Amino acid sequence: MTRIAIVGTGFGGYTCARHLERRLRPGEAEIVLITPKDYTLYLPLLPQVAAGVLQPRSIVTPLHARLRRSMLLPGVALDVDLDGRAVNVLKIDGEPVRVPYDVLVLAPGSMTRKFDVPGLDEHVHGMKTLAEAVYLRDHAIAQLELAASTHDPDERAARCGFLVVGAGYSGVETAAALQLVTRRAMARFPHLDPGLLRWTLIDIAPKVMPELGPELGAAATRLLESRGVEVRLGVSLDRVAEATATLTDGTRMPARTVIWTAGVTPRPVVSSLGTETVKGRLVVGADLRVPGCEGVFGLGDAAAVPDLTAGPGTPCAPTAQHAHRQAKVAAENVLAALRGGRMREYRHHDLGLVVDLGGSDAVARPFGLNLEGRAAQLVTRGYHLLTTPSGRSRLRVSGDWLLNMLAPDDLIRLDFLQDSPGTLDQLEHMPVRPRSRRISVTEPVGSRP
C-alpha cells in the first residue's frame, strides 16, 4: 500500500491529514503522522492560557479522536533520506526508527529562534508550547509571592521585574496578558509597593508589529504604555544573568523573568534535505512541491511558499492562516501525485490580522479595516472561534471566556512543572532525548501491509 508520511501536526500537518482522510479511497494509501504530541495546538490562544483565561485542554484537539484513518508515530523527525525515501525518527521513548515513504509532506512547524546571547539557555523562557505557557503563569505568580516574603530591596526589584524580548504578535500578546495577571495579583500583597511591578517590552525593530500598519501598531503601543508596560525599540538583549538583564544600549535592569519571543525558525529536519532555503525555510513552488525532490511537499512555517498575490519573490508570511489553507492545497496535490492528476497552485488573499491585548482590549484589521477596543476584541474572539480545529474546542473556549467574565481567575499556582527549570532550551528545543549519545537510525518502522 502506498504510504503518505506527514511530519508535524500543527495547522498544516493536521489539516492536510484531515483532508486526505476524507478524500482517499479505502485501501488507496496509508497515512503515517510523525509528531511528538498526540494533539494539535491552537497557538494563537497560548497567551490566554498563560493568563489563566483559558484552560490548557481548551486549545488542544486530540489527534486520536479526529484522525481515524491515520497511524500516529510519537516521535521527532530527525532527517530525511531522499535517496532511500525514508524519514529517520527518534521516538518519544528515545528509540530510533526509520519510516519509508512514497509521498512526504513536511509541515514540522517552527520553534523559537535563538541567538548567541550569554545566559540565554540558562535563564530565558519561551512562549510557543503548552508547557511554556503553563510554566510562565506559575512562575510569574511565584515571583510576586517570593518578592512579598523578602525584605531585600534588590531581590524584590528583580522578582517584580519582567522583560519580554520581541515585539511581534507573540511578544505583544504575552506582555499584555501576563501584565494584567501580575497587576491583579499585586493586590494580594499589601506589603508590596505596586510601583515595584515593572514590565518592559523590547525589540530591535523600529516599530511594534509593523505588519499591522503604523496606526494599529501605534494604538497597541499606546495601550501597553497606558497600563504601565515600557516599550523600548531599537534595542535588544545583550546578556542575561539570574537576576539581571543587560540590553544592547548598556541598560542594566533587575529581572528574574526574561521571556524570549524574538522570531521563529524552522525545525532542523528541514535543513536535512540539502535543498535551497530562504532564512531557513524550504524553497518550494507555488504547488508546494520541493524542487528536485520527487513526491516531497513543504508548507507552513517550514516552507517559503511564493505569495502569488504579492510581488515576485515574496514568500507567504509564516502565519496560521496561510498554513491552514496551504494544507488543503497540499492534500489535493498529494492526491494528484498518487492519481496522476493536475497540480494546483496556492493563492490566497490575506483576510486580515487580529491581536488580543487582554481584557476587553484588542486591535484588528479585518479586510483592511482598522479596529480598536471592544469592536476589535469582538472580531478577534469571533475569528478564533471560527478557526479553532474542532467543535469541542470552540465550546470549551467559549465556556472559559464566559466563566472568566463571571468568575475571574483565582491566581493560584498549579506547580505541574515545579521540578523543571522552565527554560526555552529545556521545554522547547529538547523535547525528546535519545537513549544514548550515539544512536542508529536504520531500524524499520515495521513492514507495510
DSSP string, 91-124: ETTS-EEEEE-SEEEE---EEE-----TTHHHHE
Asked if 125 contacts 259 with a C-beta cutoff of 8 angstroms, the reply is yes
Taking the CB of residue 267, how many other CB atoms lie within 10 A of it? 22
Containing 45, the helix (H) or strand (E) segment is none
CA angle (131 as vertex; 128, 135 as ends), nearest 5: 105
Question: Residue 428 is placed in which grid cell?
Answer: 522547547
One pLDDT digit (tens) per residue for the chain, 449 residues: 899 999 999 999 999 999 999 999 999 999 999 999 999 999 999 999 999 999 999 999 999 999 999 999 999 999 999 999 999 999 999 999 999 999 999 999 999 999 999 999 999 999 999 999 999 999 999 999 999 999 999 999 999 999 999 999 999 999 999 999 999 999 999 989 999 999 999 999 999 998 888 899 999 999 999 999 999 999 999 999 999 999 999 999 999 999 999 988 999 999 999 999 999 999 999 999 999 999 999 999 999 999 998 878 899 988 888 999 999 999 999 999 999 999 999 998 777 889 999 989 999 999 889 999 999 999 999 999 999 989 999 999 999 999 999 988 788 888 888 888 889 888 887 666 666 433 333 344 444 44
pTM exceeds cut of 0.75: yes
Residue 433: predicted pLDDT: 62
Residue 347: predicted pLDDT: 92
Cβ-Cβ contacts under 8 Å for 77 (sequence gap 6 or more)? 7, 8, 34, 87, 88, 89, 108, 267, 269
Interatomic CA distance for residues 275 and 186, integer angstroms = 52
Residue 427: predicted pLDDT: 86
Residue 430: predicted pLDDT: 66
Residue 432: predicted pLDDT: 64
Asked if 367 contacts 352 with a C-beta cutoff of 8 angstroms, the reply is yes
Nearest alpha carbon to residue 245 among 323, 165, 309, 178? 165
Interatomic CA distance for residues 428 and 233, integer angstroms = 26
Nearest alpha carbon to residue 315 among 334, 301, 295? 301
